[in-house]
Amino acid sequence: MGVFLTMEGPDGAGKSTQIELLRDYLSRKGYDIIVCREPGGTKISEAIRQVILNKDFTEMSHMTELLLYTAARAQLMEEVIRPALKEGKVVICDRFVESSAVYQGIARGMGIELVYEINQYAIGDTLPDLTIMIDLDAKTGISRKKEQAELDRMEREALDFHEKVVKGYREIAALHPERIYKVDGHQTIEEIHKKIAAAVDKIIS
Ligand code: TMP
């Protein structure tokens, strides 16, 4: 079996940058790596992403949102993640079920039990070997996003929502310290990378 790594954090935490650095680091060590993102990573999941993040769909109910994220995940699991793990690859996924636990379970108030229960249908017993969580305050994260591109439906939520997300991640990380590695996102890119690489080395070698 391969190794399943997931990267989590509030919007603007720097996940993409850290995933690229981690991919290069592990490639140099000779690992066969697949990077995917959520929601997305397959033709169908990317189409679902267009629906979920469409800034005009402001009437989307919380349950619809949760089920769409879960559906996109089910397709990604079946088409990409499980086959890659079976082939012994290292899978790095940009967001996974912890995003649903935090955004839908905590910030939307649907409850983390419900989120994990529904996600059972999508992920079964395929859980990440390690989840890296970049911790960053909501204001910094969202102002970074504003500089980059037009904000999507989730990013347009009020600051209060993003603050709940940050708090939610801290809660989830504290609940599962054995499988979630929390790193302070206010450090330099290189400092954060070094810490992530060290945490991954511990489980991979
Ligand atoms: P991204 O911008 O990191 O690609 O993520 C898309 C947005 O979707 C981001 O605001 C977080 C949110 N999201 C959820 O609310 N629940 C989920 O399960 C996932 C995967 C993402």
Q: Is residue 7 within 8 Å of residue 33, measured between CB atoms?
A: no
Is the CB of residue 8 below 6 angstroms from any atom belonging to ligand 1?
A: no
Is the CB of residue 119 below 6 angstroms from any atom belonging to ligand 1?
A: no
Mean per-residue pLDDT pooled into runs of 10, the chain (205 residues): 97 96 97 98 98 97 98 98 98 98 98 98 97 97 89 93 98 96 97 98 90
Q: In what order do the strands lie in the sheet with 33-37?
A: 33-37, 90-94, 3-8, 130-135, 180-184
Cis amide linkage into residue 39, ω under 30° from 0: yes
Is the CB of residue 99 below 6 angstroms from any atom belonging to ligand 1?
A: yes
Q: pLDDT, tens digit, for every residue of 96-134?
A: 999 999 999 999 999 999 999 999 999 999 999 999 999
DSSP letter at 10 equals: S
pTM: predicted TM-score of the whole model, two decimal places: 0.97
What pLDDT is recorded for position 14?
96
Q: Which atom of ligand 1 is nearest to the CA of 52?
A: 8
The CA distance from 27 to 44, in Å, is 28
Is the CB of residue 199 below 6 angstroms from any atom belonging to ligand 1?
A: no
Give the number of residues written for the chain.
205
Q: Cα(175) to centroid of ligand 1, in Å?
A: 21
Residue in 121, 78, 80 with CA at minimum distance from that of residue 97 = 121
Q: Is residue 42 within 8 Å of residue 93, measured between CB atoms?
A: no
What pLDDT is recorded for position 52?
97
What pLDDT is recorded for position 78?
98
Q: Which residues contact 126 (CB under 8 A, 6 or more apart)?
A: 4, 77, 81, 82, 85
Is the CB of residue 103 below 6 angstroms from any atom belonging to ligand 1?
A: yes
Number of Cβ within 10 Å of residue 112's Cβ equals 19
Is the CB of residue 108 below 6 angstroms from any atom belonging to ligand 1?
A: no
Shortest-distance Cα residue to atom 2 of ligand 1: 11
Mutate to test the pocket of ligand 1, among 17, 35, 38 (most ligand atoms within 8 A of CB): 38
Q: Cα(30) to centroid of ligand 1, in Å?
A: 30
Q: Cα(9) to centroid of ligand 1, in Å?
A: 9
What pLDDT is recorded for position 149?
84
The CA distance from 133 to 183, in Å, is 6
